[in-house]
Every structure is written in C-alpha cells, then in structure tokens.
Amino acid sequence: MRQYLDIKQAYSDAFLLFRMGDFYELFYDDAVKAAQILELTLTSRNKNSENPIPMAGVPHHSVQQYIDILIDLGYKVAIAEQMEDPKQAVGVVKRDVVQVITPGTAVDALNTGKDNNFLVAIDRDDTQYALSYLDLATGEFFVTSLDDFETVVDEIASLKAREVVVGYGLSEADPQKQILEVQLNVLVSSELIGVEASELISTDLSSLESKTAAKLLNYVIGTQKRHLSHLQAAQHYEIKDFLLMDASSKKSLDLLYNARTGKKYGSLYWLLDETKTAMGTRMLKMWIDRPLVSLKAIKNRQDVSQVFLDHFFERSDLSEALKGVYDIERLASRISFGKASPKDLLQLAQTLSNVPAISTVLIQMSSDILVPLIDQLDHMPDLLELITRAIDSSASASITEGNIIKDGFNEPLDDYRVILRDGTSWITELEAKERVNSGINNLKIDYNKKDGYYFHVTNANLTQVPSHFFRKATLKNSERYGTQELSTIETQMLDARENAASLEYNLFLDVREQAATFISRIQKLAKIIAEIDVLQSLAVVAENNHYIRPTIHKDSQEIHIKNGRHAVVEKVMDAQQYVPNSIDFDQDTMIQLITGPNMSGKSTYMRELALSVVMAQIGCYLPADQIDLPIFDAIFTRIGAADDLISGQSTFMVEMMEANHAIRRATPQSLILFDELGRGTATYDGIALAQSIVEYIHEQVGAKTLFATHYHELTVLERQLSQVKNVHVATLENAGEVTFLHKIEPGPADKSYGIHVAKIAGLPQALLSRAKLILSELENSSAQHVPEAPKKEVEQLGLFDHSDELVTAIKQIDVMNLTPMDAMNQLYELKKLVDSLSM
C-alpha cells in the first residue's frame, strides 16, 4: 500500500489502475468513485482492521472497456503495471505507471475510428496567442498564431477538442477557464515544466508557436511514456487560408451534423459522404470544416472531380479498389505504440496490395491532372513482401498464442514445429505399443499442466501395469503413470513448444520493428489515398444528384445562381417537390432585405446561398442550372434564436453578441446571414437596432448580406441606401386561404400571415378567431398595447373634440423629413394625446 500511495501521489488527478496479478485494483477514493461510475463491487482490504481500505477491481483482459467509460466522461486514467515477473521478485513486485490516458490522448478509448481526436495546447505572450493541436492516433501535428482569446475559443470549438493543455497560469476563477470548461466542455490540463527542443518543431515557427508546440509535445510524451515515431513534424497554418466560420455558423448550417438532432443525417457531411475508407471520411470532414480560399486549389479539385465524372467505369473500378483499403493511418500509430497485432500487419499488407490497382485505374483515365496523385501512390513492395512472407494469413489478433509466423520464414522455428508435429505422432505410436504390451485395451496418454504427459490407468486395470511404469499421481478411481520413453518425448515437445512460442514472439516483434521504419511513407500514402477517396466521393455525389460545376472568380463580388437549391433539403425531401430559387447580387447590390411569412422559405433561401459557397469552396459541384460565385473569406450567421442557459445569456444577448462578432470581423469579401435580428427585444428597440445594423454594414463593412426580417418598416431602406434591395417570399391568397409558393421575388412583402402559420400548427380555432379580431383592431388603430378583452366596449373618440390641440400637434410634424423611427415615435405621442383628451 505504501507503493500504491507513492505512485498515486504523482498522479493525484487521475484514476490509478494498479496491476495486481490478473486484476487492476483501485483503492481509497478512486475505488469509491469508480465503483459508482463503473458499477463495480466495492470491497475492502484489511476488512478486520479499524480503518479498512476501500477497494474495487477489474480483470486485466477486459480493462479497456472500463477505461473507455472513464475517458468518455472526461477523466484521466493512469495505468500502473508490474515491471518484473512476480515469481522472480524479491519483496514487493516493482510497479510503475506506463501510460496516462486522457480524453485528448485516447487512442483505443472512444470510438474514434472515423473521427479525429485532437489534443490542443494554447499559450500567449504580450501581443497574441498560439494554438497547437495533434491527433495521437494519426500523428497529425499543427500550430498557428491567433490574435485574441475569442478566436482561440472558436478554433478549439471547430476542432471539437476534448482536452486543452494551457501553457500559462489559469486560476479556477479565471473567466477563460470557465469558458473552456463550461461553454466548450473540455478538460483543462496544466502545462508540464521543461520545454525540450525536438526535430518535430521547425525553426521556421515563431518563438511563441515553437514554445506552444513543444509544451504539447512534452505533455504527450510525458503521459504516454514512450517514443512516438509516428508523430509528424508540426505544420504551421493560418486560419485565413481557409473560409472562416465560427462554431455557431457551422452549427446553424448543419455542416457536420444536424443541429436539431445531433446526428449525421440531414447534414452536409451526410450528403457528401460516399467515401470508402476511414481515412477518406476523416479528410472529408476536414474539407467541410475548412473550405479553401485559394482559387487555384479549388479549381484543381474541380478538375479531378471532372475527370472522375468523365470516366464512369474506371471510377467504379476505383471505388472497388478503395474498399480493400484499411485505416493505415491509424495502423501506423499502432505500430509506433508497439500495439500492432498480426491482423494489423495483414491489413496493412492488404492495403499495399491494392495500391497498384488504384494506380492502374488512375493511369487508365489518361489525365495530366492525375499525375501528381499517381506519383505519390507508394505501394512499398519491400514492406509488402516482408509481411506476406512472414505473417500467416490465419494469424489471430494475439501475439502470444502462436501460429503467427509462416512456415519457411525461419529455419529454427520450422525445426521446432517438426518436433511438435512428429511428437504428436510419437505419442500416438507409444500409446498403441504400450496398449498391446500391457493388454490394457483402454490405456491412453493424457496431458495436463501439473503432471505433463501420463498414462491413464483405471483401478480395475492396476494389476496389468507394466514394471517400467512409474507412478506420477493417484486419483480416487485411477492412477497416472509415466515411462522413460514418454518423459523423453515430453521434454522434447515441451522444449520445442516453449522455444517455438518465444522465437515466434520475437520474430513478430522484429517484423513489427521493421515495419516501423516505413511509418512516414505509410502516412504519406494514407493522405494521398484519402484525397483520392474524397475526390471520387464528390464525383459520385455530383453525378447521382445531377450537380453542375460552378464558375468561381475573385475579380468581383457578384453572385449569380440560376434555379439554385439547398442541396441537403433537396436530398431529404422529394426533389420533384423542391422549389428552386435564383439568387442575384450584382455590383449595385450589397444587402438583400428579405420579408415574408414564417415557414415560407426565407431561412432556406439564406442557407442555400451559404451552403453553395461552402460547397463551392470545398471543390464540390452544386445543385443549380448555372452558378457564378466569388471567393468569400468568411461566413457569419445569426439564424435561429436560443438562450445560452449555461452562460446565463438571453436570446437577445446571444443575438447581439453574434451580430457584434460578425460586424467586427467581416470584410467586403465576407458573407453575412442575419435572420430576424432584433426580435428578442421590444419592437422599437428591435427596429432601431436592425436598421442601424443594416446601415452600418452598408456604410462601414461592405459585406454581401442577406437580412431576413418581419419589420416591414425596414423596407424603406431600399430608397435610402443605394445597395439595399428588397425581396420577398411570394404567397397565393384565395378565399382566405394562403399558399406559400417558396419563391423569392423582387420587392417587399405586404403581410406576414402569422395567424395562418398558427393555423397550420394546429392552434385551437377559438384562439385563432380571437387573434384575427385583435389583428384587425391593431391594424385599424395606432395603439401599442393589446386591446381589451372583447366583453368591454370601447367608446369611439370624437375626432373634432379638442381639435385645437390635435391640429397644433399634427401641424408641428415635418412629414417630409421623418425617418421611420421618428414617424413611429410621433404616432405614439399623438396616441398618448388622444388618450388624455378622451378621459
């Protein structure tokens, strides 16, 4: 227990799994908490003492499932192993922690097969922040510089990191820690002392970037306690090299998952995912998360997709070849960790054997644009030959149970196997010979670990036992005997079995170590296969959905989409029922004010443009008859309203914060989507803020903007601001029934049809009738309060009573110079005057 407490002191923030024989044990508070979380039986050590020690344990062969649960809940787990053979230990068996598993360093834990699990480190100096991240399972390693903590938070949220290593002092009460832990739900880990230089950290990085990447690297090495040869050199990147979208915008556009359900279905990722490999799936997610801003790179992806589209049969062959590709990116990390099994190496060999087929298909397409891809398809024949020659195709996942190495790979191993095979026949022959000599018809040779090989003789036949038999064990109804000849065979066989197992184990380790020298080549091959997989996926989606290639330019900010569709909505619903919409922003249009009823399609129209931009800058083809788009540097959205209860922020506060985020960061090359901005406060406040925001974007920002609103008062801005255009969602009204046409047309809407939407939602008829009455009274009155209940009769005011005061007030109004806001205020004052005169 002293040994346990000494180790636990060094890992006080982790559950300590302490190996004792066939179990991992937990003690004290760890045991109490783990018993509750993992549903283990809580026992105690030294039960009869005054202070028994709480204890709980899990079998060593099933420990991973318990680690998974703890990691998934955000805990750290330290694994303490026995460092020597208990049979040879003098005193207490030596134990030490061999690995600390955390949410950010989990490789086997969490079902991360098709998802990256990024560990992030952040640091700062007097002027800026640096952020570095890596995926321990794939070896990817990146670093960048950022201007402020808000951008840092956006990047962490974008990476979906589960753990952040902070390289500077951060107290429990620090607002930054609250944001990281509460808003982002990440585990905050302290920095490690001591920053060592590494060949993985380039001298081209800034001082702060190098420092941050080194702290991250030290944290990983410190927790994993081994050399990680699969980690790649830290690559510098700039967030401006990609289309900027904050976490809120990505969520509102349903890029990687459906924001409402949290599932893949209904997201852009769901639409575009025709990948055949796990590596391709991860790269597709990365492309969706980080669309390009380089016109050259976008056109290169489009060109490759076009080649795939033009070669249907070859693309089908390519798809089949990719199906035989395993996740070699993660296999490389398992080799580096020393965890690769025989099956892992066989999967690597299977993948390498498929590479020539992939290369051949690409060559058959006869396109210069594919040459860079073909040249990087390294099938590593020497590694393939090694694995094929060494590893038996029927080898199990275990490296200790034998039957791993092929016959003919190693001569001594072959000799041992001959002895084992011949030994079996020798025993069969000896058994038959002694049965005849002794006359014991049921005499047979058996084996167990305690007695080895022995002749089994029942009590009824004891009088026939030959004299050269010697007794090995006595049972109730039988005796076990040995002979010199049987002992000789047994010694040869046991020695051969033990030596063969040991030799086979060492031979496998040697093959695995040789495979480790290919890790960097395996990783490069994984990247190129993933890229090919994603590009063929985009081609398949384009063909299946009849998408077209968009024209992308960077010389102007004009937008022209003819009969465009929201790709995901169209896919979810029947394409025959989807109503397409054209979107046009010429040089004289900066802002579109969109009016129209709820449920009519305003948000879909806005998202159609945003999603078209994202897809175009990924390199996708798009659903439309014709598309001409500029390159945008950022998309900012405020779509939908929701309180942020955790942070104590109201809907309106969230609206204003996101509007502020967009307005401060947007450039003339950005796209802004604002849906019903200002509705979270009083009408006057909302109109005033909405109008001032539109004016500010028009005069100060210059970004292309879609602004959907129910404030019809804002539609006058088209006359006041030169680059504001009104559009509305068309409706068809007939005999009191309204049909939403989901078609965007020029000009403002004349009604909101809110009561009709309520009717569709199924509200009671009595309620709807009352709403119509109230609406009628409001439309015929300038009152700012809800009319009294219908039982009370309202006396109509005589207009010409007190006419002098009213006439004077009205004459003082300068009608020609009123803004919409001034007009509403004047109307309000007149109403107050009328109310006071009528009392």
Q: For the ranges 6-10, 187-191, 211-215, 240-244, which has the lowest average pLDDT?
A: 187-191
Question: What are the φ and ψ backbone dihedral angles of 734, each rounded to 5 degrees?
Answer: -145, 120
Classify domain 2-101 at the CATH topology level: MutS, DNA mismatch repair protein, domain I (3.40.1170)
Task: Please list, in sequence order, all residues whose beta carbon lies within 8 angstroms of the beta carbon of residue 671, skipping any fewer than 6 positions away.
Answer: 609, 610, 613, 632, 634, 635, 636, 703, 704, 705
Q: What local confidence, expressed as pLDDT, does residue 576 receive?
A: 67
Task: Check the annotation: does 602 bind a ligand.
Answer: yes
Q: pLDDT tens digit string along 293-314?
A: 999 999 999 999 999 999 999 9
| 8 A C-beta contact, residue 338 and residue 227 | no
**One-letter identity of residue 336:** S
Task: Check the annotation: does 229 bind a ligand.
Answer: no
Q: What local confidence, expressed as pLDDT, does residue 793 receive?
A: 43
pLDDT band per the 50, 70, 90 thresholds, residue 638: confident
Displacement of CA 12 from its chain's centroid (Å): 30
Q: What local confidence, expressed as pLDDT, does residue 821 receive?
A: 61
Task: Check the annotation: does 791 bind a ligand.
Answer: no
Q: What local confidence, expressed as pLDDT, does residue 796 receive?
A: 44
Please check whether the domain covering 118-241 is classified as CATH 3.40.390.10: no
Helix axes 820-838, 803-811, angle to 10 degrees: 170
Largest CA distance in the chain: 142
| Distance (Å, whole) CA 746 – CA 727 | 4
Q: Find the mean pLDDT for residues 676-700.
A: 81
CATH of domain 411-512: 1.10.1420.10
| Distance (Å, whole) CA 823 – CA 839 | 25
Tokens 């899990």 correspond to what residue?
Answer: 58
The answer to whether 118-241 and 551-760 have equal CATH topology is no
Q: pLDDT tens digit string along 23-68?
A: 999 999 999 999 999 999 999 887 777 888 999 999 998 899 999 9
Q: pLDDT tens digit string along 729-744?
A: 887 766 666 666 788 8
Task: Check the annotation: does 493 bind a ligand.
Answer: no
The full set of domain ranges for the chain reads: 2-101, 118-241, 273-380+518-545, 411-512, 551-760, 795-839
With a cut of 90, say whether residue 400 has pLDDT above it: no
Question: What are the φ and ψ backbone dihedral angles of 535, each rounded to 5 degrees?
Answer: -65, -40
Task: Check the annotation: does 600 bind a ligand.
Answer: yes
CATH second-level architecture of 551-760?
3-Layer(aba) Sandwich (3.40)
Return the higher-pLDDT residue of 648 and 371.
Answer: 371
DSSP string, 436-487: HHH--TT-EEEEETTTEEEEEEEGGGGGG--TT-EEEEE-SSEEEEE-HHHH
Beta bridge partners of 636: 672
With a cut of 50, say whether residue 783 has pLDDT above it: no
Domain 273-380+518-545: which CATH number of 3.30.420.40, 3.40.640.10, 1.10.3080.10, 1.10.1420.10: 1.10.1420.10
Task: Check the annotation: does 678 bind a ligand.
Answer: no
